[in-house]
């Protein structure tokens, strides 16, 4: 099976995007430090580490999903105007993209707030 020139460019772009999302979500941190799945804090286990300078693998996964959702939303909004489509389809793609961006941002904000607020006391 041979890839065409356009498909090869798209595959390279996809690999670069996935790598950037991996770095943004703390992938290298997970490889170097090898954090646990749960954080032990004051006699209890938590899936989100209460300390700002530490991270669990669950947090990395959640950050990756939030970043991916935000990127997919931006990509969907951009692709709504690439091809000649009818106006209804373009508007639907734009609304779906806006929804994905909002969902990704809410997820990232929630993760930051969970780490910032002393909910574990």
For CA atoms 38, 42, 48, 50, the dihedral sign is negative
Residue ranges covered by each domain of the chain: 20-116
Bridge partners (DSSP) of residue 41 are 44
For CA atoms 55, 56, 60, 62, the dihedral sign is negative
- Calpha distance 40→79 (Å, rounded): 44
pTM recorded for the entire structure: 0.78
Query: pLDDT tens track of the chain, all 121 residues?
Result: 677 888 888 888 889 999 988 888 887 777 777 777 777 767 777 777 666 667 777 888 888 999 999 999 999 999 888 877 788 999 999 999 999 999 999 999 998 888 777 655 5
């Amino acid at each position: 099976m041979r890839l065409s020139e356009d498909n090869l460019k798209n595959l390279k772009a996809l690999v670069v995007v996935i790598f950037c999302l991996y770095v943004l979500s703390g992938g290298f941190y997970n490889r170097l430090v090898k954090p646990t799945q749960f954080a032990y804090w004051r006699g209890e286990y938590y899936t989100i580490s209460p300390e700002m300078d530490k991270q669990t693998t669950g947090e990395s996964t959640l950050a990756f999903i939030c970043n991916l959702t935000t990127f997919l939303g931006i990509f969907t909004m951009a692709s709504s105007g690439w091809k000649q489509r009818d106006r209804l389809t373009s508007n639907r793609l734009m609304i779906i993209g806006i929804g994905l961006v909002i969902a990704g941002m809410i997820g990232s904000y929630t993760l930051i707030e969970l780490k910032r607020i002393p909910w574990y006391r």
